[in-house]
Amino acid sequence: MKKTILFLSCLVLTLSLNAQTSVSGYVSTVNQNQQISKHIYGHFSEHLGRCIYDGFWVDKSLNVKKEGRIRMDIVDALKAINIPNLRWPGGCFADEYHWRDGIGAPNSRPKMVNTNWGGVTEDNSFGTHEFLELCKLLGTEPYISGNVGSGTVEEMSKWVEYLNFDGESPMSKLRKENGRTEPWKVSFWGVGNESWGCGGNMTAEYYADQFNRYATYSRDYPGTKLKKVAGGANSDDYNWTDVLMRKSRNQMWGLSLHYYAIPTGSWGNKGSATDFEEQEYFSSMKNALRMDELVTKHSAVMDKYDPAKKVALVVDEWGIWTNVEPGTNPGFLYQQNSLRDALVAGSTLNIFNNHSDRVKMANLAQTVNVLQALILTEKDKMLLTPTYWVFDMYKTHQEATLLPVKFTSPNYVVNNKSLPSVNISASKDKNGVVHLTMVNLDAKNNIPVKLNFEDLNWSKAVGTILTSAKFTDYNSFDQPNKIKPAAFNGASKNGDQLQLSLPPLSVVAITLN
């Protein structure tokens, strides 16, 4: 009898979870003024594995187009997605990096051991000047993370002076001696990184005092006001956010948040990047969607001290983190990039767009050959990952006006656990054109979508889709174009209503003309 009751209960739960089979909703287009900052679409380049060395910065003998030693096929690919900012030199590496070791004649720079990532020796041939030349070639804003963990207030203060002061001083003189007359006017400035962990194992109270001290001496020079980003919380440490907002909010432009989606939920065995079943795919997406909860709750803490939302939430490390590829250095964090990763990226960017009243900046980890990379290289070969193509499809949201979308979604159910099948964000660009990005996480089912619009004249829907047969599919050097965007012709106009059907495992971008 008990078994029968249990079976019937599970059946009722399953039927109720699957009762809804389509998305219906409403897009508000009138009197909206919340801008989606382009800096939400930022990236991260740490001295880790093959991101800098053998990624952006290659051997002189490598047979690829280069500017000095900067690899230009990577630069061209990133320019194509309008990369708005690039974070450097870390990550954990930032708090063991001493900037003076990376300036001057390359053959006179001291070597260093990268104790965080693989114990490799670096020659410091890629330093401040090289990074800022890379940013110039990319047409992007630099975001530099300063050393609080093993550095000094004087060291950070003088780095800012070296970068930004245009008058007579010891640091501006040194900069000129190293070949740069004009200051770079770097604005985004991280004061330490993960100070609760690899950046010093500090308490929130201690770090808040250190942030206030370091930030005080990180000066605003004429023509450049620093946007100082305080090292924020690990995942759901809301106390850290509370302490920093209470003690330090008046000195910061932004407060960071780091969160990685671990497929298995276990740091000991995070799961394969390409070899997994539906249950692990489901848990990956469940963990990725937790970003919405984290942003909501950290924003609520910030609202207590900053109801006007003057302090930005800066999610400057996010992405999916799996086990490294078999046979690679475990300290290099090289992982493949599957369709699952693209669905994580699309869903996360939709979350950030919809929270753009507080989230003003974010940085995917990382750009080349590390974690959820946009680009993978193998000697002279280079490929664009499924995640890269999501950023290409979503670039229309940069600096556009957020259009709130109210909708209900069916659930994607695996083993009686559920998550929303569909997530959406929408915006209107400066020309008045409306763009929607939608993700269907369901591994098996097409999801019909019907959306109404408030006072919007449009005649045609133009679409792009990114999908593949399996969530484990990926681009390889043998098949670099297995997953790439294609035209989506499944959207239509019925009266004033947009109608379409989202295929399983798909990211779809729609433009209304």
Peptide bond into 25 cis (omega under 30): no
Final residue belonging to a domain, choices 367, 398, 429: 398
Whether 93 and 126 share a structural domain: yes
Q: Quick check: 19 pLDDT over 80?
A: no
Q: Quick check: 308 pLDDT over 70?
A: yes
Whether 60 and 184 share a structural domain: yes
Query: pTM of the predicted model, to two decimals?
Result: 0.95
Final residue belonging to a domain, choices 398, 433, 463: 398
pLDDT reported for residue 455: 86
Whether 390 and 456 share a structural domain: no
Is 317 a residue of the active site? yes
Q: Quick check: 6 pLDDT over 70?
A: no
Whether 147 and 287 share a structural domain: yes
Element (H or E) spanning 459, and its range? Answer: none
Please tell me which residue, 496 or 35, carries the higher pLDDT value. Answer: 35
d(CA 192, CA 196): 10
Tokens of 151: 């550095």
Peptide bond into 335 cis (omega under 30): no
Domain region containing 292: 38-398
Whether 268 and 408 share a structural domain: no
pLDDT reported for residue 490: 93
Whether 189 and 76 share a structural domain: yes
For 292, list phi and psi in degrees, rounded to 5: -65, -45
Tokens of 470: 């399996």
pLDDT single digits (tens) 144-157: 999 999 999 999 99
From the list 194, 293, 378, 399, the catalytic residue is 194
Whether 167 and 77 share a structural domain: yes
Q: What is the SS3 assignment for 370?
A: coil
Radius of gyration of the chain from Cα atoms? 23
Whether 477 and 360 share a structural domain: no
Mean pLDDT (whole number) for 297-312:
98
Stretch among 36-45, 153-162, 368-377, 447-456 having the lowest mean pLDDT: 447-456
Q: How many domains does the chain have?
A: 2
Is 280 a residue of the active site? no
Continuous H helices in 37-104: 72-80
> Which of 470, 449, 358 shows the shortest CA–CA distance to 405?
449
Assigned domain for 491 exists = yes
Q: Quick check: 307 pLDDT over 80?
A: yes
Residue 134 binned pLDDT confidence (cut-offs 50, 70, 90): very high
Whether 393 and 409 share a structural domain: no
Here the CATH number for the domain that contains residue 178 is 3.20.20.80
pLDDT single digits (tens) 228-256: 999 999 999 999 999 999 999 999 999 99
Assigned domain for 4 exists = no
Assigned domain for 2 exists = no
Residue 2 contacts residue 321 (beta carbons within 8 Å): no
481 DSSP 8-state letter: T
Whether 225 and 271 share a structural domain: yes
- Could you identify the residue written with the tokens 């969530």? 471
Mean pLDDT (whole number) for 421-438:
97
Here the CATH number for the domain that contains residue 425 is 2.60.40.1180
Whether 220 and 133 share a structural domain: yes
Whether 441 and 476 share a structural domain: yes
Final residue belonging to a domain, choices 398, 421, 456: 398
From the list 293, 317, 399, 454, the catalytic residue is 317
